[in-house]
Amino acid sequence: MQQLPPEQVEVEICRADELAQRRGLSSELDEMWSFVGKKGEPRWLWHAIDHTSGTVLAYVFGRRKDTVFLQLKALLEPFGIRRFYTDGWGAYERHIDPTQHEVGKANTQKIESKHINLRTRIKRLVRRTI
């Protein structure tokens, strides 16, 4: 191992939240189904949470269409998110850069947990079958 003289070594100390801000946020995205009036008129809650803290960053209500996802994506632009974790829904794959997108359940556990909590606590969102 080679030794470096101290004048060639640069160390920068910062808080963890500052480091996360420099690296850029990572976010979990998902949609949750409910209906208005009758099941033939479904509405979807599209929302995004911070992957580390679980804080809700943005949400949109609408149909399960690409245009609604693009509204959510526009709301997320100011956050400078560099990594998106989602399920395999096509709108995500069509509109998120593949280098920033990771599909799978391993990194969407927080947002899925929020869905369970909402469905448990809000009677209107309860599904009769799973």
| DSSP string computed for 58-84 | EEEEE-SSHHHHHHHHHHHGGGT--EE
pLDDT number for residue 46: 92
pLDDT over 90 percentage in the chain: 45
pLDDT number for residue 6: 77
Q: What is the largest CA-CA distance in the chain?
A: 72
Mean residue pLDDT across the chain: 84
pLDDT number for residue 23: 62
Bin 37: left if φ > 0, else alpha if -120 < ψ < 50, else beta.
left
- 71 band by pLDDT with thresholds 50, 70 and 90: very high
Complete domains list, the chain, with CATH = 6-125 (3.30.420.10)
Kindly state the average pLDDT of the residues 111-116.
90
Kindly state the average pLDDT of the residues 11-38.
76
Q: Is the pLDDT of residue 10 over 60?
A: yes
pLDDT number for residue 16: 66
